[in-house]
Amino acid sequence: MGKRPIYYDTETTGVKPKEDRIIEIAAFDPVNNKTFCEFVNPQMPIPKESSQITGITDEMVKDAKSFAEIGKDFFDFCKGEVVLIAHNNDRFDKYFLIEESKRNSLILPNFPYIDTLLWARKYRNDLPRHSLQYLREIYGIEQNNAHRALDDVDVLYKVFSLMIEDLTMEQVIDLLYNSNNEILQMPFGKHRGIPLEKVPKFYLKWLAGSGALDKPENEALKSSMEKRGLLN
């Protein structure tokens, strides 16, 4: 069994991980159909600008636990062979987890991560914007309460599932972060997991003729096939 996806999101007092604090954290485990959602007491006033964006006020978090406690609960929720997935993760959410863990003397597990914003920019470069709410509209997902953590997680899960179709989490990580983006095995369909050279030629030709290889998300696959002369 591959890595279990955990879709997550944080709401914060601002955009600087070393200075600002997490005020809400939410996650969804689609394999076990479990959710996690907790307010976090940031132990500092929430700026008015942040409250206007998130809808979260000092009153709402005053009785919440600190990240020292919530962080432990969140890491426990993410136990096992998992990958953490967030929109703008590599520039935002991950760094808040890192700084909050340091600040509260918690050991942050060595999670692998997927940044869905990076994926969207790389494989949907036909789109003019890549915000989560814009992608929600493009993929026809029903609108909900944007900028609240669990609602954003729900949208992210639905959008990203449509974006990657039947790719495994390992294949997504490989496509997103490997520098050469070389694909050695068929990533989807009835021949998924089979080395490209062993996939029947008639299937590869059918795939090319169907237009599937012209999709932005299959750019690396098409390039790998061409390098091996499999489309000749």
Active site residues: 147
In the sheet that holds 34-39, the strands lie side by side as: 34-39, 22-29, 4-12, 82-86, 113-115
The first and second tokens of residue 116, run together, are: 């869905």
**What span, in angstroms and rounded, lies between the C-alpha atoms of 74 and 38?**
9
Q: At a CB cut-off of 8 Å and minimum separation 6, what does 5 contact?
A: 29, 30, 31, 82, 83, 85, 114, 169
Q: At a CB cut-off of 8 Å and minimum separation 6, what does 172 contact?
A: 114, 119, 164
Rama region for 28: left / alpha / beta (φ>0; ψ in -120 to 50; rest)? beta
Are the CB atoms for 89 and 156 separated by under 8 Å? no
